[in-house]
Chain A
Amino acid sequence: MTTIILIKSVDQAPTVREVLGSVVDPDEMIYFLRLPTVRCLGPLIQETNPMIEYGVEYRIDCLPDGYDVSELVEFAVEVGADRICIGISDRTMSGKARIDDLTESILLHDRISGDFVVGDHAIVLEELEYASEC
């Protein structure tokens, strides 16, 4: 299994912990995909220690400034991602996870489909399937 965790902020340690602790299994391959809103995942890796604490293999990659969601999807196709996990950065007054533009764009992207699961700190798109490019 392969999982992409989209990192929008270095404060997303709870998201990472939730995904690594309860979504993925040890020995899975994880891609930490850093968005342009965050320059460095060093502190987050130092805080969570994915291999020590969760036994997962991982890589760190980044998306450039001005990227398009299709680039993210291409990345997912390239690495054969089974899941994409996105941190919940905001909630409504009633406590529901707020779907931000990025999340919405991924959910609505015509090349990608999967099951939509909402956790405490992460939204998970799993059982991913990819449509071939038109």
Chain B
Amino acid sequence: MNQTDQNEADGRRRDIAYEKDVVRKNRRQNRGIGWNGKTLREQLAELEDKTEATDRYAGISELSLKAEDPIRYEQLYSRLRADLVSARETSKEVSATPIVEQEGELCYGLFTPEGDSIAVSTGIIVHIHTMSEAIKFMINHDYEESPKIEPGDIFVNNDPHVGDVHPCDLMTLIPIFHEGELVAWAGGVNHVIDTGAVAPGSMSVSQASRFGDGAYYTARKIGEDLELYNSWKKEYPAKTRTPSFLKLDERTRITGCLMIRNSVKGMISRIGVETFKQLSREAIEDSRRGFRSRIQKTMLPGTYRGASFVDALYEGQGNVTRDYADENHIMHAPSELHIRSDGSFQVSFEGANKWGWHPYNCTPAAIQGGIWVMLTQTVLPNELVNDGAYYACDFHLPVGSWANTQNTETAHAYAWHFLVSAWAPLWQHLSRGYYARGFWEEINAGNANTSNWLQGGGIDQFDKLHAVNSFEAACEGVGARYVEDGEPHAAAIWNPEGDMGDIEAWERVEPLPFLGRTVKPNTGGAGRRAGGAGFESMRTVKDVSRWLLYEMGNGYMSSDGGLFGGYPAASGYILNAQDTDLEERFENGEDYPQSDLDPESGDFESKIDGEVTRRPEGISTPKEFDDYDMYLNYLRGGSGLGDPMEREPEKVVEDIHDGYVLPRHAKDAYAVVVEKVDDEAKHNSAVQGEWELDEAATERLRQERMRERAENAQPVSEWCEEQRDRIRSGKDLIDDVKKTYESSMRMSEPFSEFFRDFWDLSEDFSFELSEQAQRSLNNRFDTGCRPMWDNHTRRHKTWLDVEDEPYVPYTWTSRSIQDLPDPASTFAGGRSGYSDP
């Protein structure tokens, strides 16, 4: 360490020793570490009471700092945020994983003493609210008394039931003190390579419960005086297959947190602690008002309703850890968005089906954080992103559903699978509002299902135990917008700054050489505006032993449905080749597969001999792979918007040349007829040759398609009658579908009433299930709750069942419209927007 760094470290130690002394003296005087001698729990309780009573954060009525000197307010806030971004950009270079260094799967937040985020860095900002929950958990479970919260302490958490999405996101939290008072928390989180789960990788898929998810660290103190405990240093490296990477990840997070601590201390020395406190409170209230104002300006009051589904198929899979987990699941997410006259924003998942013996279950922190990050990319276009948005929203998450298991037996390793799929209708809710208010440039058909996840591990090319977790999934196609096509292979909804990462960076840490990487045609949803295309990487395996790989993603089902007549993005599939002749092909200089651009062409199979597995599913449990086996990593596209028949034919030709659409798909999906005019020209790897539009043939084909549509169309009433017959008879319905709806009906009496009423079913209607499906449902419903929180926060009541009546009134009945003052209800402030905070 050079002298400058040594001096800084010494100064930090002295500061911590001094602060600790003040805190301990205060404690002897019965004073807590909160403001003005309050304990943290008192401070949180008071904050929640005042916030709810006034509908303003902390009861703040005037943004006086902002009002008195708006430029200074913006400067101060921007400085905080810039320092957070700087902490991220600097500290990520400490990490050795491409997950952090390439993909930027890292973020930082600055929090109030009560755990509300004041400002966030760029990156995986979903965690701004998850870290918030983790801090509140520590407060409400009296960590101030034991193990104590003191200057220089270091805490870790990765427990979704406390505050996280899934256990591979490890967070570090450091309290920041000033003169014996806790003035803020610095928090950092990143996605690690391996959690020590039953299967190698960060998001194991084959476990039935939490006990196979990997190591859980439930809001633990792991150090003091900014030094990690020896017990911690000895414990966690042994709980992962990749200890060196996790050690560097931890140093990354601590580096960033210390940079944030320095920033806060510096700001306090310049502007004084009272101004800092005021800034932290006002920034959150400012953001809360901004969110509501934005809702009032861009949406219409009322109830927006939709539903989404995604598959998780385990029946017949090998390596499932429990026999009772050998079953298929379909996630059902009835989704309602209630926009009230005051601009309040309520999301309800009433009718969501039961959690399952799979790792895709969610906790409220995951759902709220997840939806929150989506809102920051849709509703909040500015940098004032903090927990103000959280305070502007309510979430009704039925206890016992996949969205809120309240059961610490459930597995959560890849909660995103259900989470990302479940919020697909939210894009549509918002887009419908935007459309109605004329904000057409804001309309988006929805994000891609963020898969596939290439994961696995074993003995790597350096003869070491290792695990891999390709984060190419941080680069998916984006949904089509109303005014332009979706961006191809651009980002992931959970990380708006995602990237596919350099091939060389992945190859340094993964014994999986790339044979090719290319745009994947036909993956973006067709539409007047096309969904952004996904991409694919063809990988082989080299210099490994006892190596496992597996897939994770949507298979038969598309979780996003397309918008305004646009088509969904393509669903997933699995392609592997084992026991191949790839080595011989290399030696002989022969052709070999570098892609699988057209899965139906037979091109892949024609270039390799071996045992080829091609399945229309998205999830597989770990399978053994040897050298020269092959694995396709296919990253999904975004959904389309508008009728594909309305897409300009010339644009479809451009799509062909850009590799987004195959010529045969142009005809099938867009009714665009093209002709190859030159074999030689090469625009990209997907299509060889030059293509031209046949305008006359296209016109004829489109007219023919429209005629076919008219001929095939039927009145909705007839269609409903047909579907009603299917439901009543149970014929032509697979057991998985019946189990899904039966589960939702058992979960929710209101949903059950709605379902029976909508389909005109008898009052005692239920689906007839197979004995296995019945047993599985009974088993899970009988399991009950095992909640983690003893003392909930006030805001948890929006998803807690309060005296048998959910706090947020769901509207699968006719209540929703009646909740508005009158059918012509609008926002009080009119078109000008928010009038009264």
Report A's interface with B, CB cutoff 8 A: 34, 36, 39-43, 45-46, 49-52, 55, 58-65
**Which partner residue on chain A sits nearest B54 by CB separation?**
A51
Count of B residues near A, CB < 8 Å?
A: 29
* Alpha-carbon distance between A43 and B42 when the two chains are bound, in angstroms: 8
Q: Is A51's CB under 8 angstroms from B59's CB?
A: yes
* Alpha-carbon distance between A45 and B31 when the two chains are bound, in angstroms: 17
Q: Is A45's CB under 8 angstroms from B45's CB?
A: yes
The minimal Cβ–Cβ distance linking A18 to chain B, given in whole angstroms, is 18
The minimal Cβ–Cβ distance linking A118 to chain B, given in whole angstroms, is 28
Contacts of A51 in B (CB 8 A): 49-50, 52-54, 59
**Which partner residue on chain A sits nearest B144 by CB separation?**
A40
Please encode chain B, from 28 to 67, with 1 for each CB lying within 8 Å of some chain A CB and 0 for all others: 1111100011111110111011101110000100000000
B30 contact from A45, A50, A58, A62, Cβ within 8 A: A62
Q: Does B791 contact A (CB under 8 A)?
A: yes
Contacts of A58 in B (CB 8 A): 46
Known: A42-B42, A52-B53. 6 other contacts (CB 8 A): A46-B48, A46-B791, A62-B29, A62-B32, A64-B28, A64-B31
Contacts of A55 in B (CB 8 A): 53
* Alpha-carbon distance between A45 and B42 when the two chains are bound, in angstroms: 7
* Alpha-carbon distance between A55 and B52 when the two chains are bound, in angstroms: 11
The minimal Cβ–Cβ distance linking A60 to chain B, given in whole angstroms, is 5
Contacts of B41 in A (CB 8 A): 40, 42-43
A63 contact from B30, B142, B791, B794, Cβ within 8 A: B30
Q: Does B757 contact A (CB under 8 A)?
A: no
Q: Does B675 contact A (CB under 8 A)?
A: no
Q: Does B624 contact A (CB under 8 A)?
A: no
**Which partner residue on chain B sits nearest A61 by CB separation?**
B37
Q: Is B54's CB under 8 angstroms from A40's CB?
A: no
Contacts of B507 in A (CB 8 A): none
Q: Is B52's CB under 8 angstroms from A40's CB?
A: no
**Which partner residue on chain A sits nearest B39 by CB separation?**
A40
User: Can you identify 12 A-B contacts, CB atoms within 8 angstroms?
Assistant: A39-B30, A39-B39, A40-B32, A40-B39, A40-B42, A42-B41, A45-B46, A49-B53, A62-B31, A63-B30, A64-B28, A65-B28
* Alpha-carbon distance between A61 and B30 when the two chains are bound, in angstroms: 10
Q: Does B145 contact A (CB under 8 A)?
A: yes
* Alpha-carbon distance between A41 and B144 when the two chains are bound, in angstroms: 13
Q: Is A39's CB under 8 angstroms from B145's CB?
A: yes
* Alpha-carbon distance between A34 and B791 when the two chains are bound, in angstroms: 21
Q: Is B142's CB under 8 angstroms from A40's CB?
A: yes
Q: Is B29's CB under 8 angstroms from A42's CB?
A: no
* Alpha-carbon distance between A58 and B794 when the two chains are bound, in angstroms: 18
Contacts of B52 in A (CB 8 A): 49, 51-52
Contacts of B50 in A (CB 8 A): 51
Q: Is B29's CB under 8 angstroms from A65's CB?
A: yes
Report B's interface with A, CB cutoff 8 A: 28-32, 36-42, 44-46, 48-50, 52-54, 59, 139-140, 142, 144-145, 791, 794
Known: A42-B44, A65-B29. A60 touches B38 (CB 8 A): yes
The minimal Cβ–Cβ distance linking A119 to chain B, given in whole angstroms, is 23
Q: Is B42's CB under 8 angstroms from A60's CB?
A: yes
Q: Is A46's CB under 8 angstroms from B45's CB?
A: yes
A36 contact from B30, B44, B794, Cβ within 8 A: B30
Q: Is B37's CB under 8 angstroms from A45's CB?
A: no
* Alpha-carbon distance between A42 and B138 when the two chains are bound, in angstroms: 13
Contacts of B36 in A (CB 8 A): 59-61
Known: A51-B50, A52-B53. A42 touches B28 (CB 8 A): no
Contacts of B45 in A (CB 8 A): 41-43, 45-46
Contacts of B53 in A (CB 8 A): 49, 51-52, 55
Contacts of B32 in A (CB 8 A): 39-40, 62
Q: Is A45's CB under 8 angstroms from B49's CB?
A: yes
* Alpha-carbon distance between A51 and B139 when the two chains are bound, in angstroms: 21
Q: Is B30's CB under 8 angstroms from A43's CB?
A: no
* Alpha-carbon distance between A36 and B48 when the two chains are bound, in angstroms: 24
The minimal Cβ–Cβ distance linking A3 to chain B, given in whole angstroms, is 16
Q: Across chains A and B, which 9 residue pairs bring their CB atoms closest together, nearest first?
A: A42-B41, A45-B45, A51-B53, A64-B29, A40-B39, A52-B53, A46-B45, A42-B45, A42-B42
The minimal Cβ–Cβ distance linking A74 to chain B, given in whole angstroms, is 16
A46 contact from B142, B144, B794, Cβ within 8 A: B794
Contacts of A39 in B (CB 8 A): 30, 32, 39, 145
**Which partner residue on chain B sits nearest A65 by CB separation?**
B30
* Alpha-carbon distance between A58 and B38 when the two chains are bound, in angstroms: 13
* Alpha-carbon distance between A55 and B54 when the two chains are bound, in angstroms: 9
* Alpha-carbon distance between A93 and B54 when the two chains are bound, in angstroms: 44
**Which partner residue on chain A sits nearest B34 by CB separation?**
A60
Contacts of B46 in A (CB 8 A): 45, 58, 60
**Which partner residue on chain A sits nearest B53 by CB separation?**
A51
* Alpha-carbon distance between A132 and B145 when the two chains are bound, in angstroms: 40
Q: Is A62's CB under 8 angstroms from B37's CB?
A: yes
Q: Is A49's CB under 8 angstroms from B29's CB?
A: no
Q: Which of A49, A58, A59, A61 has the most CB of B within 10 A?
A: A49
* Alpha-carbon distance between A58 and B59 when the two chains are bound, in angstroms: 12
The minimal Cβ–Cβ distance linking B790 to chain A, given in whole angstroms, is 10
Contacts of A41 in B (CB 8 A): 39, 42, 45
The minimal Cβ–Cβ distance linking B182 to chain A, given in whole angstroms, is 14
* Alpha-carbon distance between A28 and B36 when the two chains are bound, in angstroms: 21
**Which partner residue on chain B sits nearest A58 by CB separation?**
B46
**Which partner residue on chain A sits nearest B35 by CB separation?**
A60
**Which partner residue on chain B sits nearest A37 by CB separation?**
B30
Contacts of B145 in A (CB 8 A): 39-40
Known: A61-B37, A63-B30, A64-B30. A43 touches B49 (CB 8 A): no
Q: Is A34's CB under 8 angstroms from B49's CB?
A: no
The minimal Cβ–Cβ distance linking B64 to chain A, given in whole angstroms, is 18
* Alpha-carbon distance between A73 and B650 when the two chains are bound, in angstroms: 85
**Which partner residue on chain B sits nearest A52 by CB separation?**
B53
* Alpha-carbon distance between A19 and B142 when the two chains are bound, in angstroms: 27
* Alpha-carbon distance between A45 and B40 when the two chains are bound, in angstroms: 12
**Which partner residue on chain A sits nearest B793 by CB separation?**
A46
Contacts of A50 in B (CB 8 A): 49
* Alpha-carbon distance between A89 and B653 when the two chains are bound, in angstroms: 84
* Alpha-carbon distance between A60 and B46 when the two chains are bound, in angstroms: 9
The minimal Cβ–Cβ distance linking B248 to chain A, given in whole angstroms, is 38
Contacts of B54 in A (CB 8 A): 51
The minimal Cβ–Cβ distance linking B391 to chain A, given in whole angstroms, is 15
Contacts of B139 in A (CB 8 A): 42
Contacts of B28 in A (CB 8 A): 64-65
* Alpha-carbon distance between A62 and B26 when the two chains are bound, in angstroms: 11
The minimal Cβ–Cβ distance linking A8 to chain B, given in whole angstroms, is 13
The minimal Cβ–Cβ distance linking B335 to chain A, given in whole angstroms, is 29
**Which partner residue on chain A sits nearest B140 by CB separation?**
A42
Contacts of B144 in A (CB 8 A): 40
The minimal Cβ–Cβ distance linking A26 to chain B, given in whole angstroms, is 11
* Alpha-carbon distance between A46 and B142 when the two chains are bound, in angstroms: 14
* Alpha-carbon distance between A46 and B114 when the two chains are bound, in angstroms: 14
**Which partner residue on chain A sits nearest B40 by CB separation?**
A42
The minimal Cβ–Cβ distance linking A39 to chain B, given in whole angstroms, is 7
* Alpha-carbon distance between A60 and B54 when the two chains are bound, in angstroms: 19
* Alpha-carbon distance between A57 and B36 when the two chains are bound, in angstroms: 16
Contacts of B794 in A (CB 8 A): 46, 49
* Alpha-carbon distance between A64 and B31 when the two chains are bound, in angstroms: 7
